Structure formats: structure tokens, C-alpha cells
Amino acid sequence: MNNIKFVVKVNRSGTRAPEYVQRVDPTPIQMTTNRKLALVMGKFTAEDAVKSLQTSQRIPELVPVEVTAEHSGLAVQD
């Protein structure tokens, strides 16, 4: 069974590599440049993360990813 989940990608002015939200628990939100470590979340949680990251220097966007449910857990397909 395939589901659509979201990753929050953030482009900052002045940096070359995009960053992804890794954790939303602490303040500030933890970021990573490794796409495989990005937090896969539902649409509402991802939209909340985008709202909290919006500044003049940050440009967050939702990136949909297809997730397949397997017996051992979740597998993200690019």
C-alpha cells in the first residue's frame, strides 16, 4: 500500500545545499542536508513546520514522497 507523505525542504539565501527538517520536537527545529535523514510527516505537520520556518531568508516548501508500508517499517521511494 502506498501513501503520500511530505518532507519540508528549506532553501536559505547564501547557502548552496538545501536543508531538510530532521526533528520538530526541539526549538529551534533541527535541520539536515542529508535527504535520507529528513523527517517524513503528514501534510498538517509539514504545513505547521513550513509556517514556523518562514522568514525573509528561508524559503520552505513541501516535497511529496511516496511511502510504502512494509512488514519491517516504512520505506521511502524517491
Cα within 13 Å of Cα(56), Cβ side:
0
| pLDDT, tens only, 5-59 | 999 999 887 767 899 999 988 778 889 999 899 999 999 999 998 888 887 788 8
3-state class (DSSP) for residue 2: strand
pLDDT confidence of residue 72: 43
Residue of 56, 51, 63, 66 whose CA lies nearest to 19: 63
| Cα 23 from chain centroid (whole Å) | 9
Q: Where in the sequence is the domain holding 51, given as residue range(s)?
A: 23-64
Domain for residue 47, yes or no? yes
pLDDT confidence of residue 37: 92
Domain for residue 75, yes or no? no
Task: Pull the grid cell for residue 22.
Answer: 530532521
Cα within 13 Å of Cα(48), Cβ side:
9
Could you give the number of structural domains in the chain?
1
Domain for residue 3, yes or no? no
pLDDT confidence of residue 75: 58
| pLDDT, tens only, 58-75 | 889 999 998 887 644 555
